[in-house]
Amino acid sequence: MPYFLFLFMDIHASVRLALEKYYGQSIDPTLVQLQRTKKEFQGQLTLVVFPLLKLSKKSPEQTAQEIGSLLNATLPEIADFNVIKGFLNLLLTPSYWIEVLNRIHGDPNFGRTPVRDDAPLVMIEYSSPNTNKPLHLGHIRNNLLGFSLAEILKANGNKVVKTNIVNDRGIHICKSMLAWQKWGNGATPESTGKKGDHLIGDFYVLFDQEYKKEIAALQAEGFIKEEAEAKSVLMAEARELLRRWEAGDPDTVALWKRMNSWVYAGFDETYRALGVDFDRIYYESQTYLEGKEEVLRGVEQGVFYRKDDGSVWADLTADGLDHKLLLRSDGTSVYMTQDIGTAKLRFDDYPIDKMIYVVGNEQNYHFQVLSLLLDKLGFAFGKGLTHFSYGMVELPEGKMKSREGTVVDADDLIAAMIETAKETSEQLGKWEHFTEEDILQVAQTVGLGALKYFILKVDPRKNMVFNPKESIDFNGNTGPFIQYTYARIRSVLRKAAEQALALPESLDVHYALNEKEINLIQLLSEYPSIVEEAGAMYNPAIIANYAYDLTKEYNQFYHDYSILHEANSDSRTVRLVLSATVGAVIESGFALLGIRVPERM
């Protein structure tokens, strides 16, 4: 009963009790399978009869007919029924659907489970940027998925801690530092007018360009690629910077702190624009030493081994994998070392019941290894780690490469989406009677809504192509289409208020609903199950596409039936309540996706 557990629980229980009375024996609740009736058949709820044939010992059609007659006679919610082979289609009374609408409309937290004191605590890691470059389109998908997953799990009654691990040390930042020392001429964000993360990213790209020139020159002298890379002066200098940093050299550490502070300020600005945040931020520079201690403990206990050159490795061949480097021969650590230390610190800091890493699918092997290593080190939580592995995001032009400076910058994309929303709305003539401040606010809401929805509506496990032009369309399965419908509903409710048409606390159950009104109420009633499924599957796309289905259904209703101009006052009242409830569910669902909805468009 995947979509009806919340509001059809009473019918499910009634059906089971009726069958137990009819057949004279207790029935396994799982045998009573209720589902939404297919659109081509009449009814709202379908009972799958096949699991009950052992009880009836009759054909599917005979069993369905008998059960239908029984339910129609004993349950007041059943108005009529029909049988299609082994499927019993039930038509529920309009009064039942009015009661459902009253329950939904009267519940300000509809679809959300309250967080109890004893609720499980879930920690979700997302973003995980490197301090050698600004955030890009790939980071946007990561941040949106992580933030939305956190909101969805909270809506399912979990305590949630949103966390970030900043990769602020290692050879990557040393490359940027070295390039700044050699060619920066003292450049700062203030002197260049650039965001700090962009400035550092420029030096990272510059290092790569100069490194390639050096390798090409060495190859021109007759060295093969591997020999040229081994002779690279630039790379040797970058590694020396890393060694000096890990040794605590004051000048190196001071430069590292200064440049990273520029990056953090830039990251914070992007996070604010994107509408994501964190409850706790960890830094690799603070966790890698903890990881090194754990790795060395593993060597002492015989869990890991040391090679003649001093490097430390884990033998995972018994687990069907290979040998994994944990410490280099010069004693410097690798990403895996840091992740071991970070995991230990997190479980020391919080009573975590579930740890979820939101990281792209190119790191599947990494997290498989991390889980094994933590388990071998004796941490009880090792095997319970969850890698929320999502697919890559590309543009129609193809993949991005940060070292070559060909990534789609997050800040540029956000600004472009807002400007496109502004231009599109202007072309559609939507800015009449708007102030400049209102125009900017709505453009930000719509532009970011388009970006977020287009990314989140795709199953996170799939690779995707982000098309900015397609995402901003005001028609079709897009954020602006849903936002515009919400704004339309708000407009209807404002006009109703101007006409002194108040919404009642509850509706008269004797009102005769039409088919489209019933379809809308039924779709609304599925929202709690949609939220539950999205949490169980770690899939915000389930909520995004539900919001689109609800919006489509409402627009068909809005097109076919008058609301404010309806002569029958009871019909007008029901349709106003229905509109307000649809708007509330759209707003709730979009909030779980981190998307705002505008009062006007």
Asked, for residue 585, whether it belongs to a domain, the answer is: yes
- pLDDT confidence of residue 325: 97
Which token pair is 136?
């890009």
Please work out, in degrees rounded to the nearest 5, the angle formed at the alpha carbon of residue 140 by the alpha carbons of 137 and 141.
Answer: 100
Residue 187 and residue 55 in one domain? no
- pLDDT confidence of residue 402: 43
Asked, for residue 100, whether it belongs to a domain, the answer is: no
**Residues 264, 278: Cα–Cα separation, whole Å:** 14
Is residue 467 within 8 A of residue 477, CB to CB? The reply is no
Average pLDDT in the 224-235 region? 95
DSSP string covering 505-558: SS--TT----HHHHHHHHHHHTHHHHHHHHHHHT-THHHHHHHHHHHHHHHHHH
Other Cβ atoms closer than 10 A to 314: 24
CATH of the domain at 34: 3.30.1360.70
434 band by pLDDT with thresholds 50, 70 and 90:
confident
Is residue 519 within 8 A of residue 37, CB to CB? The reply is no
Average pLDDT in the 445-462 region? 97
Three-state secondary structure readout of 386-398: EEEEECCEEECCE
Burial of 28 (0-12, 13-18, 19+ CB in 10 A): exposed
Asked, for residue 584, whether it belongs to a domain, the answer is: yes
Residue 241 and residue 334 in one domain? yes
Last residue of a domain, one of 71, 92, 113: 92
Q: Is the pLDDT of residue 80 over 90?
A: yes
Helix (H) / strand (E) element for 374: namely: helix 364-376
Average pLDDT in the 569-590 region? 97
Residue 314 and residue 461 in one domain? no
Tell if the pTM clears 0.85, that is, is over it: yes
Is residue 545 within 8 A of residue 482, CB to CB? The reply is no
**Residues 293, 481: Cα–Cα separation, whole Å:** 53
Q: Is the pLDDT of residue 1 over 50?
A: no
Which of 69-78, 174-183, 198-207, 310-319 is predicted least confidently? 69-78
Burial of 555 (0-12, 13-18, 19+ CB in 10 A): middle
- pLDDT confidence of residue 8: 60
**Residues 539, 60: Cα–Cα separation, whole Å:** 36
Residue 242 and residue 341 in one domain? yes
Q: Return the sign of the alpha-carbon dihedral for residues 344, 349, 351, 355.
A: negative
Asked, for residue 516, whether it belongs to a domain, the answer is: yes
φ, ψ at 49 (rounded to 5°): -85, -25
- pLDDT confidence of residue 10: 64
Residue 55 and residue 176 in one domain? no
Residue 165 and residue 272 in one domain? yes
Is residue 419 within 8 A of residue 384, CB to CB? The reply is no
CATH of the domain at 332: 3.40.50.620
Q: Is the pLDDT of residue 5 over 60?
A: no
Considering its fold, how many domains does the chain have in total? Answer: 3
Average pLDDT in the 87-113 region? 93
Model confidence pLDDT, tens digit, residues 356-370: 999 999 999 999 999
- pLDDT confidence of residue 76: 86
Residue 80 and residue 156 in one domain? no
Asked, for residue 251, whether it belongs to a domain, the answer is: yes
180 band by pLDDT with thresholds 50, 70 and 90:
very high
Model confidence pLDDT, tens digit, residues 464-516: 999 888 998 888 999 999 999 999 999 999 999 999 999 999 999 999 999 99
Average pLDDT in the 160-167 region? 97
Residue 261 and residue 339 in one domain? yes
Is residue 255 within 8 A of residue 177, CB to CB? The reply is yes
Asked, for residue 109, whether it belongs to a domain, the answer is: no
Hey, is 478 helix, strand or coil? Answer: coil
Last residue of a domain, one of 394, 423, 442: 394
State CA 429 to chain mean position distance. Answer: 33
Average pLDDT in the 546-569 region? 96
- pLDDT confidence of residue 48: 94
Contacts of 320 (CB under 8 A, 6+ apart): none
Closest CA to 28 of 20, 36, 18: 20
Asked, for residue 319, whether it belongs to a domain, the answer is: yes
Residue 22 and residue 133 in one domain? no
Average pLDDT in the 130-147 region? 95
- pLDDT confidence of residue 19: 80
Average pLDDT in the 100-114 region? 94
CATH of the domain at 529: 1.10.730.10
- pLDDT confidence of residue 252: 97
**Residues 146, 183: Cα–Cα separation, whole Å:** 37
Q: What are the beta bridge partners of residue 315?
A: 323
Q: Is the pLDDT of residue 399 over 80?
A: no
Q: Return the sign of the alpha-carbon dihedral for residues 135, 352, 458, 277.
A: negative
* Containing structural domain, residue 512: 452-592
Average pLDDT in the 508-535 region? 94
Residue 86 and residue 163 in one domain? no
Highest mean pLDDT among 106-110, 394-398, 425-429: 106-110
Mean pLDDT of the chain: 92
Other Cβ atoms closer than 10 A to 440: 13
Last residue of a domain, one of 34, 69, 92: 92
- pLDDT confidence of residue 406: 52
Residue 512 and residue 571 in one domain? yes
Percent of residues, the chain, with pLDDT higher than 90: 80
Residue 25 and residue 155 in one domain? no
Asked, for residue 105, whether it belongs to a domain, the answer is: no
Hey, is 482 helix, strand or coil? Answer: helix
Q: Is the pLDDT of residue 35 over 60?
A: yes
